[in-house]
Amino acid sequence: MTADRPNSEFEAEPLRPDLPAAASAGKPGGRMRKVFLFLSILLLVVVGAAAWDAYRFLHVPPEQPGETRLVDIAPGMSMARISLLLERENIISNGPRFQLYARLLGLSASVQAGEFALNTGWTPRQILDALTTGRVHLHRLRIPEGLTWWQTGRIVEESGLASFESFAKAAADPELLRRFDIPADHAEGFLFPETYHLPRPRNQDARPIVEMMLEMFRRATDQHLWPKGRPAPETVRDLVILASLVEKETGLAEERERVAGVFANRLRIGMRLQCDPTTIYGLGPDFSGPLFRRHLDDPGNPYNTYMHAGLPPGPIASPGLASLRAALQPEEHNLFYFVSNNDGSHTFSRTLEEHNRAVRQFRRSQGR
């Protein structure tokens, strides 16, 4: 029996090995890996750029070196409006980011109203610290001794802090006068001369400034003049009136007590004070001099101490602490007259004869 031979026609072909995985799935898989790699790199670039941008916002101020700018935050202003205002003033580089930053720190509701001195060289955190701690900008207001209320009001107006009209209104406010125990219809004399540092009042309203001056008068006098207790309001008023005369008549600090003593001597015996500055005050804000005999002979001027005995109706200026102390403790002497030497000093006399002699000598020295 012969062995069967396979039919060549049906002889099986050797099986072909499978294609490698790279060949079978090569092209789509390779593309996916490249896309994934590209997206990963792109994501890193985007994240890096965002991180760098955030870093620059938080740590790189808008300007270097910076400059200080006053920014007014009104009461009730939203954080969105505040952020836009700061961006407009170039205090921050991006308003929406600043708003988000404040919200993330939980400080959006802590921003206070007021005028702030902010620097374009500060970081957002420094800006937020200033706005939330209430470090408002303080303006310097210097009020010299010896000014009338209207002269003080003009200084306030010239400072740009408040209007003259609102100052005049506040100085005559009955509620303020009652609160500070001023037995008069005006705060003249009690607007204490001092250098003040204060925030800008809202709406050009001088009331906070007048309150500050009256409070300073009370504090200074309570501490330095009557630490054991304030006298009656009428006594304080009379002291302020006398001190205002001393302030206006005195050019040298060492003469204050002596001038006060002259006025005290005259008041004691009922002699008229004959004080030019009182008469001038009664002529009002528009009077610029000179003072003539007709002014001194005018009984219609209630401040004319040539015609009316005793103290004038009210203070004629705001005296400083030194003049108030001189009025409280005048020098004891027997002098009743003094005449200016035109250099800030005075010649004092006991009698009218001595005084007239001093006046003639003064006139001769002036070539008159």
* Helix, strand, coil % over all residues of the chain, rounded to 5: 50, 10, 45
Taken in order 112, 117, 120, 122, the sign of the CA dihedral is: negative
CATH of the domain at 341: 3.30.160.60
CATH of the domain at 101: 3.30.1490.480
- For the chain, the first-to-last Cα distance in angstroms comes to 175
Tell whether 198 is covered by a domain: yes
Clarify whether residues 175 and 112 are in a common domain: no
Comparing CA positions, the residue from 338, 152, 362, 364 lying closest to residue 252 is: 338
Backbone angles phi, psi at 268, to 5 degrees: -65, -35
Domain termination site, one of 132, 160, 188:
132
Total number of domains constituting the chain = 3
Q: What is the pLDDT of residues 136-168, one digit of tens each?
A: 999 999 999 999 999 999 999 999 999 999 999
Clarify whether residues 183 and 108 are in a common domain: no
**pLDDT for 45:** 62
Tokens representing 246 are 């001393």
Clarify whether residues 300 and 190 are in a common domain: yes
Would you say 91 and 46 are in contact if contact means Cβ atoms under 8 Å apart?
no
Tell whether 15 is covered by a domain: no
Q: Rounded to whole angstroms, what are the CA distances from 304 to 137, 268, 292, 301, 349?
A: 44, 19, 12, 5, 22
Tokens representing 247 are 């302030």
Clarify whether residues 262 and 181 are in a common domain: yes
Q: What is the pLDDT of residues 16-40, one digit of tens each?
A: 555 454 444 456 677 887 776 666 6
**pLDDT for 34:** 75
Clarify whether residues 200 and 301 are in a common domain: yes
Clarify whether residues 211 and 110 are in a common domain: no
What band does 269 get if pLDDT is binned at 50, 70 and 90?
Answer: very high
Q: What is the pLDDT of residues 162-217, one digit of tens each?
A: 999 999 999 999 999 999 999 999 999 999 999 999 999 999 999 999 999 999 99
Q: Rounded to whole angstroms, what are the CA distances from 82 to 1, 117, 222, 336?
A: 110, 14, 43, 66
**pLDDT for 49:** 56
Clarify whether residues 168 and 116 are in a common domain: no
Tell whether 49 is covered by a domain: no
Tell whether 12 is covered by a domain: no
Q: How many CA atoms lie within 13 A of 188 on its CB side?
A: 22
The span from the CA of 199 to the CA of 75, in Å, is 14
What band does 289 get if pLDDT is binned at 50, 70 and 90?
Answer: confident
Tell whether 89 is covered by a domain: yes
Clarify whether residues 183 and 109 are in a common domain: no
Tell whether 5 is covered by a domain: no
Tell whether 102 is covered by a domain: yes
Clarify whether residues 316 and 357 are in a common domain: no
The span from the CA of 162 to the CA of 327, in Å, is 32
Tell whether 10 is covered by a domain: no
E-only strand ranges, the chain = 68-73, 114-119, 139-142, 195-198, 337-340, 346-349
- Ranking 16-20, 242-246, 335-339, 356-360 by mean pLDDT, the lowest is 16-20
The residue range of the domain holding 85 is 68-132
Tell me what the pLDDT averaged over the chain comes to.
Answer: 89
Clarify whether residues 358 and 329 are in a common domain: no
What band does 44 get if pLDDT is binned at 50, 70 and 90?
Answer: low
DSSP bridge partners of 72: 115
Residues 233-244, mean pLDDT to the nearest whole number: 98
pTM, to two decimals: 0.80
Clarify whether residues 251 and 294 are in a common domain: yes
Clarify whether residues 199 and 303 are in a common domain: yes
**pLDDT for 297:** 96
